[in-house]
Amino acid sequence: MFSHIDHIGIAVKSIEAALPFYRDILGLKNIRIQDVPEQKVRVAMVRIGEVKVELLEPLGEGSPVQKFIEKRGEGIHHIALSTDDIHGEIRRLRAAGIQLVTENPTPRGNEYEVIFLHPSSTGRVLIELCQPVKGRR
């Protein structure tokens, strides 16, 4: 099963424009910015307690986040749930009839293995399952 909400993803046009609100106004810390080319995004992670907020900036026109922003504007993109058995969860969810966005999990940098549940199966909410790479939490 799932242990906790790992992070909430927020689509933004520009991390540099959005970050001052989260850092300076809300006072969130532990800022880490990195490109994730395999998902065509640049991310900034900030923490509030045990939950992270992930600002997602598209890297180019082919980015799914760019398509999201064009269709819906900036805002909440997904909720990520943490698991220690992503493959077991995938089997369980498929057996329950839940549709996945991709067939198999993919790495996100060297931090997570991730897969998304299709919003048509989740009440129109994009849900990411993430399994931290061993030794990373």
Residue-level pLDDT, tens digit, the chain, 137 residues: 899 999 999 999 999 999 999 999 999 987 889 998 888 999 999 999 989 999 999 998 889 999 999 999 999 999 999 999 999 999 999 999 999 999 899 888 778 899 999 999 999 999 999 998 875 54
Give the phi and the psi of residue 45 in degrees, each rounded to 5: -105, 130
Give the phi and the psi of residue 42 in degrees, each rounded to 5: -110, 135
Beta pairing, strands 2-11 & 51-58: parallel
- pTM > 0.85: yes or no: yes
Q: Which of 130, 103, 127 is nearest to 114 (CA)?
A: 130
Element (H, E) at 122: none
Q: What pLDDT, on a 0 to 100 scale, did the predictor assign at position 135?
A: 53
C-beta separation of 120 from 98 below 8 A: no
Distance CA 36, CA 90 (A): 23
C-beta separation of 129 from 114 below 8 A: yes
Q: Which of 6, 11, 8 is nearest to 79 (CA)?
A: 8
Q: What pLDDT, on a 0 to 100 scale, did the predictor assign at position 123?
A: 95
